[in-house]
A = this chain, B = another copy of it.
Amino acid sequence: MPQPELRTADVQNGETAATIGALATPALLLDQDRLDRNLARLCSRVTARGVVLRPHMKTAKSIDVARRAYPSGPGPITVSTLAEAEYFAQYGFRDMTYAVGLAPHTAERAMRLRTAGVDLKVLLDSPEQAIMLGAAGRTARATPSALIEIDCDGHRGGLTAADPKLVIVAATLAEAGVKLAGVLTHAGESYSLCSPDALIAAAENERAHAVAAAEVLRAAGHECPVVSVGSTPTAHFAEDLTDVTEMRAGVYMFFDLVMHGVGVCTTDDIAISVLATVIGAKPEKGWILVDAGWMALSRDRGTAMQRVDQGYGLVCSLSGKVYPDLIVAQASQEHGILAMRSESAHALPDLSIGAKVRILPNHACATASQHELYNVVSARGDAIEARWPRMRGW
């Protein structure tokens, strides 16, 4: 039988600590000033171009973060799982796009949300899915709503504007009694770019493919009200959004070292970090050992293919100042090995056992998903101002 008295509140990570220094480690920190700045930056950029921003909640997975994006009440969001859709629906969100291709079980589950009053749009790119969704709609006695996925850069799924299947899918949707909400594309290849010119071109390519697909559908007699594009890099570099109706992005809320390598943010924009404690050293190897391994940082090595490889993360002081060239060079499950980049002119900082550091993540979506909650901090001091839980699962 469980003996709950062995597990007391004060030993739970982050449940009672009042300051960053008092947190048990590893722990996830979220700087709300940076979060608010990142949210405002993209929102004003996109709305200034007459386009709706539909934030992707796959990165934050938190109602508290969603409320920072929408302080005056729920607005349009994108979700990556139906568990996310159900979670945000509980808090009053009603306009959602589920941006992962449809399967039979997700069609049925999506229809339950629609009959509960959620305008959930699903994604597909085949006649089989259109027929399946129509059947789920008839079973639920409700009209499904679907976006057709458009392939703009060969990254994943979707159809091109030139593919004859595009109008076949639209016709199948109409026959199956499904409302065609519009088209959706994602410039997934933009994550591998690193120059402003290439990013501007990727954004224009994304726009052009989506708009061309919408025109093909309209020419075939289908209404196609939504033209949805987006990725964090293209959202920040798109110059022309003519005929686009909405922009999706998720990682922009937190940013990360991959986005820094792409050229979308500075390290001072990165809103999440992992707090870690020094637990050992190997001076003869130039190593400092910390208690944040891949379980706290994730296995993501997204910067490995970039010009600057950040290892498993870039190390900052407790107050958030970057130690130049100090990275998490290796990670096992609960150990991180800090070391200077081989070419560095800087000396290894003096960090003794018990000292704390913050580690900036390669990939915010992956690192945040390793944690139960955000310890919310600000630039104003070292207080834990709030604890925001994350949801997970499918």
CB<8 Å pairs between A and B, sample of 13:
A3-B90, A6-B116, A11-B109, A11-B112, A80-B295, A81-B334, A100-B291, A101-B335, A132-B353, A156-B289, A156-B335, A157-B289, A299-B299
Which of A122-130, A216-224, A377-385 forms contacts with chain B?
Answer: A122-130
Measured in the bound complex, the distance between the Cα atoms of B335 and A307 in whole Å is 26
A26 at the binding interface (Cβ < 8 Å) = yes
Measured in the bound complex, the distance between the Cα atoms of B386 and A96 in whole Å is 34
Contacts of A71 in B (CB 8 A): none
Which of A8, A27, A353, A366 has the most chain B CB within a 10 Å cutoff? A353
1/0 contact string of A156-173 vs chain B (CB within 8 Å): 110000000000000000
Picked from B7, B279, B370, B394, the residue with its CB within 8 Å of the CB of A86 is B7
Measured in the bound complex, the distance between the Cα atoms of B67 and A2 in whole Å is 13
A103-B354, A295-B369 known; 5 other A-B pairs, CB under 8 Å? A6-B86, A6-B116, A11-B112, A58-B333, A80-B295
**Chain A: interface residue count, which band?**
35 or more
Q: Which residues of A contact B (CB under 8 A)?
A: 1-8, 11, 13, 24-27, 58, 80-83, 86-87, 89-92, 100-106, 109, 112-113, 116, 118, 125-126, 128-129, 132, 149, 154, 156-157, 188, 277-282, 285, 289, 291, 294-296, 298-301, 332-335, 337, 352-354, 363, 365-366, 369-372, 392-394
Question: In the complex, are the beta carbons of B280 and A80 less than 8 A apart?
Answer: no
Contacts of A86 in B (CB 8 A): 6-7, 11
Contacts of A4 in B (CB 8 A): 90
Which of A6, A132, A156, A370 has the most chain B CB within a 10 Å cutoff? A6
Which of A83, A91, A109, A334 has the most chain B CB within a 10 Å cutoff? A334
CB-nearest residue of chain B relative to A355?
A: B103
